[in-house]
Each structure stands twice: as C-alpha cells, then as structure tokens.
A = this chain, B = another copy of it.
Amino acid sequence: MYHSINPTDLDFFESLLGDRCKYDRDTCVAYNHDHTEDLQFTPSVVLFPKSTQEVSDILAYCHQCNIPVTPAGARTGLSGGCLPIYGGVMLSSEKLNRILEIDEKNAQVITEPGVITEVLQDAVKAKGLFYPPDPASKGSCFIGGNIAENSGGPKAVKYGVTKDWVLNLEIVLADGTIMWTGANVVKNATGYNLTQLVVGSEGTLAFVTKIVLRLIAHPTQTLLMLVPFYDALHACQAVSSIFNAGITPSGLEFMEHNALKWSQAFSQDYSIEVKDEHAAHLLIEVDGFDSEQLMKECEIILSVLENYETDEILFAESEAQKNTLWGLRRKVGEAVKAQSVYKEEDTVVPRFALPQLLETVKNIGGKYGFESVCYGHAGDGNLHVNIIKGNLSDLFWNEELPIAIRELFTEVIKLGGTISGEHGIGLVQKPYMDLAFSPSGMELMRGIKHVFDPKGILNPGKIF
C-alpha cells in the first residue's frame, strides 16, 4: 500500500538535507525504538530538517510518492507514538531545536519543537517566567513531543497539561502546506479550535514546526512534604479531602510502597526511611510567592491529614532535600523498568474515584494473577498502573494480560475515566479505543484524519 523507499528517494532527501539525511544501518537501528516496552520498528531513513521549508519539501515529496512519515522527537514516549511501524521516513525534530523568542512583555515563548522541555523551562525561568508542564522525562523529552501527546506531569494538578499552555502552532500538513493554527492570544473565538485539535493528535494530523506557549510569573517559593500512610486507600482518600479544604497543591503525587522502594534501590539513595508498614506515600507540594501564605496552606493540609493514620511527615528542609524527594518520584518509572519487563497503563478517573480505581487494579491483579506497582498524579486522578512481568509466562503476557487490561479499562470507564491521562494512545493502546469512544466517535476522528491527511502518510497505524 505504501511506497518503499528506493535510491531515487534517498537521492532526493540527500539533495535537500545533505548529511542530515541518514540511512546507514547504525542510525536506522538507533532510531528504531522509543521508551515503550521493548518494541522495535526500523525506519528506512531518518531525516533531520532544520527549517519549516525543509519539512514542507520532505512532506510534499512523501505525499506525492505515498511514503509513510513518522514524526519523532526525543523518543521518550510510553505509547509507541513515534515508532515507524510501516518503515519509511522517520522525520526527526532534533535539528529544529532553537528557542526563537522569549517575549517577556507578553509572557510568551516561541520555540521550535526539538527543544528539551527542561531547557525551555530553564530559559524562561532565567527571565522570571514559568512554563509549568513537567513530564517525568522533562530532562530529555522535547516540547514538540509534549504537544503531540498532550503531556502532563506533577504540576498539572495546579497548572493544567500541555494543551492549556499552547496558544498557536505553525504546522506543516501532509501535503507540505505550511500554516498557523491560531493567533498569539490568550482568548480566541475565531473559527474552529485547530490548535487544540493538533495538540494531542500524536503526529497523525500534521508536523508541528513552531510553538507559541503562554507563560506566567515564576513562583518564588515551594514547600514540599512526604506523607507516609499505613493504608494506601487512605492516601487516595486524603487527596480529595485536600482539595475540598480549598487547597490546590502544585504537586500531589501518590506512590505505592514498592514504587518508592524500587526508586530508592534504582537511585541508590536511601536518605529517606521507608518502613515496611508504609503502604503508600503522598508527595505534596505547594508553590507561590509568599512563604507565610504557603505555611498557612501547609497548616490546612496538615489539619486535613490529621483525619488519616499517617506516620511522621517529612518536610523538605533544603533545596537538596526537595530535589531528592522529587528525584525519587521522577525515577519510579525507570526503576520499574530496571526491575522487570512491565506494561504501563495510564489510567485516569475523576479524583474521588481514585480509591476505587486502586482497589479495582488490585482485584483484577488478584483474579488474573499479576502484580502491579501503582503511582502517579493522584491530584488529577491519574494513576500509572505498572504491571510486572516477573516470572509470568510469555503466553500469559501476550494472550491473557490483554484481556485483564481490557477488564481494567472497562472499569476505569465505568468510574467516569478514560484509558490515557497523559501518555497517549500511540500504538499500544489502540486495541482499547473502542472502550473510550463509540463507533460514531471513532468515525468522526477518522473523518478528521482524512481531512488533514487524505493519503494517510502521517504516522500511519497510530490511534486508529
């Protein structure tokens, strides 16, 4: 169905990009995976455009020749969104890596997609400005990938996810057409919201070449506490109680016992005592501009926590200790990966349903016979369920587990939730989309895909 890349195609790409067109075996193999399980798909050629015009020229050519194009950022995704499952062109944003303008006067930044999220955050922070979304991979992921997957992170609980910060996008359509989706304004009631349609579309609708983000003044203060619970369900329940007390923390993270233990082992950092009887921890951060105000907020949180059985609460006393605590939280994912083959389900439910979700996960695990380590952004009702392969058979893993996952997602949707909070659908969650959307919904999405990319060359085999 798709055209296989031949020497003529490679000549064209080389004439356009010179040594930024790579098709040697080593490069193609190096680009055949992201952070999703152990999946590998090798592209025929990896292209590194440096300008919107080059992206446009590449796409116009591929469109004409019917060559599949898989957009890729830093390839840190967890749903296989940038795996070139039909081979063809991998279109990398690595060389589209300039921050074009930090507009302090309007509190906006214009950037190319290949900038590491943390680099972008640091650059605007140097001007006193704040770009809040901070996926766990912020030190390596690209802002373009965050746009593609509508990434979240701990700060989402207070500040929202990537979509909430995107004002305008320069995109290149499948046929090479260059256009802007909106305007550089915080309010816009002009036509359909093409910007929000492209955010989270996982590279299936267009290739993003420029991004306009809004920013706010950077908070100057944070307070951070780690709260050990004897009962994981109590930890889940406390989450809603904190909000109901009128507090919106800037981080409200849940970690099961094993999540924190494994992260300690992975990081070789045992500075925090995690007792056997600590079933779960909440990591709670508040931020702002006034330390007195934050102390007041912490007092309210503490008064809420008095209603639950907790062990001694650890207040981070220094920046170093804050970094330790956040580091342990951020490394859970890698720690689980180091421990065993695993599958991660990015469940999300209304916040108050979190205890029910955790129980459901454990019940289904009991029924099917798998263990799981759960952690995530509890304040958003977003629980990462890591199913551990351990000694389970390949047969179970490949045949039975998908049935168990389907049962889990069915329950998630009954709780008012959905099958991905921040990782996207990509390749690996496709089989469950029928749970989240009616046939009509799927038909609308397929129709939209066809409007943007009638030949289906952009990131084929994803979402649908």
| Interface residue ranges, A against B (CB under 8 Å) | 103-108, 128, 149-152, 156, 160-161, 163-164, 173, 177, 179-194, 196-197, 199-201, 205, 216-217, 240, 243-248, 289-290, 292-293, 296, 346, 348-353, 377, 380-382, 413, 416-425, 429, 433, 436-438, 440-441, 444-445, 447-448, 450-452, 463
Contacts and interface: CB of A to CB of B under 8 A. Distances in A.
Nearest to A104: B244
Given A163-B196, A190-B429, A246-B289, 9 more contacts: A103-B352, A149-B189, A150-B189, A150-B193, A182-B418, A185-B350, A186-B381, A194-B444, A217-B245
Given A196-B197, A293-B290, A451-B451, A185 B445 contact: no
Contacts of A184: 350, 416-417
Contacts of A105: 240, 244, 351-352
A125 to B, nearest CB: 13
Contact of A173 (B353, B425, B440): B440
B191 A463 contact: yes
10 contacts: A105-B352, A107-B351, A180-B441, A181-B441, A186-B380, A187-B348, A189-B420, A189-B422, A444-B451, A447-B451
Contact of A416 (B107, B185, B244, B437): B185
B189 A217 contact: no
A187 B440 CA distance: 22
Contact of A420 (B190, B346, B440): B190
Contact of A187 (B161, B194, B463): B161
Nearest 4 Cβ contacts at the A-B interface: A447-B451, A183-B418, A196-B196, A105-B352
A445 B195 CA distance: 12
A58 to B, nearest CB: 18
A89 to B, nearest CB: 22
Contacts of A156: 186-187
Most buried by B among A350, A413, A417, A420: A350
A377 B422 CA distance: 32
Contacts of A353: 106
B189 A421 contact: yes
Most buried by B among A128, A187, A350, A417: A187
A181 B199 CA distance: 16
A42 to B, nearest CB: 26
B248 A192 contact: no
Contacts of A181: 441
Nearest to A379: B186
A173 B104 CA distance: 43
A103 B350 contact: yes
Contacts of A194: 441, 444-445
Contacts of A292: 292
Contacts of A201: 192
Most buried by B among A161, A193, A217: A193
Given A179-B438, A441-B179, A418 B193 contact: no
Contact of A424 (B173, B189, B217): B189
Contacts of A190: 418-420, 425, 429, 433, 436-437
Contact of A444 (B296, B380, B452): B452
Nearest to A212: B416
A192 B448 contact: yes
A379 B30 CA distance: 48
A164 B161 contact: no
A440 B189 contact: no
A310 to B, nearest CB: 21
B173 A380 contact: no
A371 B189 CA distance: 25
A99 to B, nearest CB: 18
A380 B107 CA distance: 12
